[in-house]
Structure 1
Amino acid sequence: MRLDLTTLNLVLAIEQTRSITRGAEREHLALAAASKRVSDLEARLGVQLFERRARGVEPTEACRALVRHIRSLHASLHALESEVMEFARGIKGHLRIAANAGSIAECLPADLAAFSQAHPQIRISLEDQTSAEAQAAVAEGRADVAVFTAPLLDNRLQTWIYRPARLAVLVPRAHALARQETVSFEALLDYDLIGLHAGAAAQELMREQAQARGRTLNARLQVRGFDAIAQLVEAGLGVAVLPEAPAERFAKVFEVKRLRLSDDWAQRDYVLGVARQERLPTVVQRFVDALCPGHQEAKAPTAPIKTTR
C-alpha cells in the first residue's frame, strides 16, 4: 500500500482545522479532490478517519494514530533534508553519539573537540542518555556510537575500552567524614546519600552493594546532573558518590571535600560500543580509531547490574 505525501498532509491539515474545506484550502486542493483523497484513503486503510458533523469534522482515534505517524514522518523528512543539505556546505558525514553522564562530565568533551578539529567535515551530535539507553539507541539504529559503563546489555554491540574511571565521594567540608582522605562504602551507609535518578550506574551499583551487606541505601534525594548533587551536598543534605573528575572540580568551587572511595568496585571503565558488523562506516571507524587507538575489546562483567548510567 502506497501513501502519498500530499494526502497525508491533507489529513494533517483537516485534523488541525477540523474542516475538510479549510484543510483543502490550506493544501491548495479543490474541495472535491480533497474529499476523494480522504475517501480513497479511508477505503485503503479500512477505517474511518473523520466523523462528519454539522460544523465540520472530528478526527477518530484511527485518525489521531495516523496523525502521530505523519508528524513523525515530517520530523524525519526535515532531518533528512537538513543532513543532505549539509553536504553542499562541505559536510561529509554525520556522527550520532549517545553517551552517559559520567563520560560527558569526565573525558568525552576534550576528545570530541580533538576529533572535530581533526575532521571538521564531520558533524557530531551528542545526546546525554543512561548507559542502557545509549546501548539500545545504537542497537536500534538511532545512534552510531554509544559511550557507557558496563555491563554490556546487548550482544548486538561490538565494544572497546575507552577510558578508565573511578568513583569518588563528596561530603560537606564540615562533615564528620571530611577529616578523612579515604572512606569505605560501608561507612557511607550510615549517612543519607544524594545521587542521580533511578537507573544511573552508580545509583544501582550502590543499591546492590548495600543489599549485599544486608544494609539499606538511604537514597534521600535523587536528581539529574552532577552540579545539582554538589550543591545539595554543600547544603548539608547528604553525601554523594560520583565520578572522580567532576568531584575534584566541585571541591574547588563548592564548600565540599572529595574523598577517595576505597572499594574495588569504585574502579570502572568507560566503554565505546557500535553496532556489530563486518565493516564499519568510514566515519564511525575514524571515531573508534581516534578514541580507542589500541582497540582493546571490552569484556562483559560476570555479574552485571540491571541498569546503568
Structure 2
Amino acid sequence: MRLDLTTLNLVLAIEQTRSITRGAEREHLALAAASKRISDLETRLGVQLFERRARGVEPTEACRALVRHIRSLHASLHALESEVMEFARGIKGHLRIVANSGAIAEALPPDLVAFSQAHPQIRISLEDLTSAEVQAAVAEGRADVGVFTAPLLDSRMQTFNYRSGRLAVLVPESHALAERASITFDELLDYDLVGLHAGAAAQELMREQALARGRTLNARLQVRGFDAIAQLVEAGLGVAVLPQAPAERFAQVFKVRQLRLEEDWAKRDYVLGVLRQERLPTVVQRFVDALCPPETRTETTASTPPLRGKA
C-alpha cells in the first residue's frame, strides 16, 4: 500500500484542528478534494479515521495511531533533509555512535575529540544506551559503531578490544566507610545502594553477583546519570558503585569519598562493535582504525568473554 505525504499531512492537520475544512485550508486543498482523500484513505486502510460531529470531527483510536507514525515520519524526513544538506557544507559523512554510560565517562571523549580534529568533515552523533541496547542498535543498523561491556549477545557483530576500566565505590564523607581505602562486595551488600537504572551493565553485574552470593541487592534508588548518583550519595541516601574515572572526579567536587572495590569482576573491558560485513563503510573503518589500531587490534567472539584491552 502506498501512502502519499500530502494525504498524511492532511490527516495530521485535521487531527490538530478537529476540522476537515480548516485542515484542508492549512494544506491548501479544496474541501471536496480533502474529503475524498480522507475517504479513500479510510477505504484503503479499512478503518474509520474521524468521527463526524456537529462542530467538526474527532479522531478515532486508529487515527491517533496513524498520527503517531506520521509524526515519527516527519522527524525522520527532517533528519534526512538536515543530513543531506550537510554535504553541501562540506560534510563527507555521518558516524552514528552508541555507547554505554561507563564508556562515555571513562574512555570515549578524548578519542572522539582526536577523531573529530583529524576528520572535521565527518559529523559524529553519540547516544547513551545500555550495553544490551547498544548491541541491538548496531546489529539492527540503527547505529554504525557501539562501545559496550561484555557479554557479547549477538553473533552478527564484529567486536574488538578497546579499553579497560574499573568499578569503584562512592560513599558520603560522613559515612562509616569513609576512612576505608577499599571494600569487598560482600561488605557493600549490607548498605543501601544508589545505582543506575535497570538494564545498565554495572547494575546487572551487581545484581548477578548478589544472587550468586544468595544475597539481595538493596537498590534503594535508581537514576539516570552518574552526576545524579554522586549528588544522592553526598546527600546520604546510600553508597554507589560506578566507574572509577567519574568516581575520582566526583570525589573532588562533592562531599564524597572513593573506595577501591576489591573484586576481580570490578575490572571491566570495553569493546568496540560494528555490524559484521565483508567491507566496512569508509567512515566506519576510519573510526575503527583510529580507536583500535590494526597493529594492536584483537577481535572478540560471541562465545568468549572480551579480551582485555589496553588501558
Q: TM-score range by the shorter chain?
A: over 0.9
Task: Quote the residue 1:138 is aligned against.
Answer: 138
2:202 match: 202
Taking the aligned partners of 1:82 and 1:162, their CA distance within structure 2 comes to 32
**Structure 1 residue 302 displacement after superposition:** 5.9
What is the match of residue 19 of structure 2?
A: 19
Residue 147 of structure 2 aligns to a residue whose secondary structure is strand
How many pairs align? 304
Rounded to whole Å, the distance in 2 between the matches of 1:37 and 1:181 is 72
Separation in structure 1 between the aligned mates of residue 143 and residue 44 of structure 2, nearest angstrom: 34
Q: Which residue of 2 aligns with 1:307?
A: none
Task: Indicate the residue corresponding to 1:247 in structure 2.
Answer: 247
| Superposed CA offset, 1:142-199 (max 9, x none) | 2111111111122221111110111111222333333332221112122222211211
Task: Give SS of 2:299's match.
Answer: coil
Cα distance between partner residues in 2 of 1:228 and 1:70: 35
Give the Cα–Cα distance (whole angstroms) in 1 for the partners of residues 4 and 237 of structure 2: 58
Are the aligned partners of 2:169 and 2:247 in contact in 1 as well (CA < 8 Å)?
A: yes
Could you tell me whether the CA contact under 8 Å between 2:155 and 2:301 is conserved in 1? no
Q: CA deviation at 1:101?
A: 0.7
* 1:83-112 Cα shifts (integer Å, max 9, x gaps): 000000000111111111111111111111
Match of 2:165?
165
Moved more, 119-128 or 62-71: 62-71
Residue 58 of structure 1: CA displacement?
Answer: 1.9
What is the Cα deviation at residue 250 of structure 1?
A: 1.4
C-alpha separation in 2, matches of 1:41 and 1:195? 49
8 A contact 1:162–1:269 mirrored in 2: yes
Contact 1:161 1:271 in 2 (8 A): yes
Residues 277-292 of structure 1 aligned to structure 2 (within 5 Å): 277-292=277-292
Counterpart amino acid of residue 258 in structure 2: R
Partner of 2:309: none
* Residues 130, 20 of structure 1: alpha-carbon distance in 2 compared, 3 angstrom cutoff: same
**How far apart, in 2, do the equivalents of 1:30 and 1:190 lie?**
71
Counterpart in 1 of 2:10? Answer: 10
Distance 1:111 1:89 in 2: 24
The correspondence of residues 56-135 of structure 1 with structure 2, limited to 5 A, is 56-135=56-135
Matched residues in 2 for 1:233 and 1:43: separation? Answer: 59
Query: 2:84 and 2:272 mapped to 1: Cα distance?
Result: 27
Unaligned runs of 5+ in 2: 307-311
For 1:51, what is the secondary structure of its paired residue?
A: strand
Deviations 1:17-42 (A, max 9, x none): 11111111111111111122222222
Instruction: Verify the 8 A CA contact 1:157 1:275 in the aligned structure 2.
Output: yes
Secondary structure at the counterpart of residue 155 of structure 1: coil
Match of 2:225 in 1: 225
TM alignment of 1:31-70, pairs within 5 A: 31-70=31-70
Question: 1:258 maps to which residue?
Answer: 258
**Given the two structures, how large is their TM-score scaled by the length of structure 1?**
0.93
Q: CA RMSD in A?
A: 1.8
Identity %: 85
Single out whichever of 228-237 and 82-91 deviates more from structure 2: 228-237
Separation (CA, whole Å) in 2 of partners of 1:168 and 1:48: 57
The answer to whether the Cα contact below 8 Å between 2:132 and 2:153 also exists between their aligned partners in 1 is: yes
CA distance in structure 1 between the aligned counterparts of 2:74 and 2:49, rounded to whole angstroms: 19
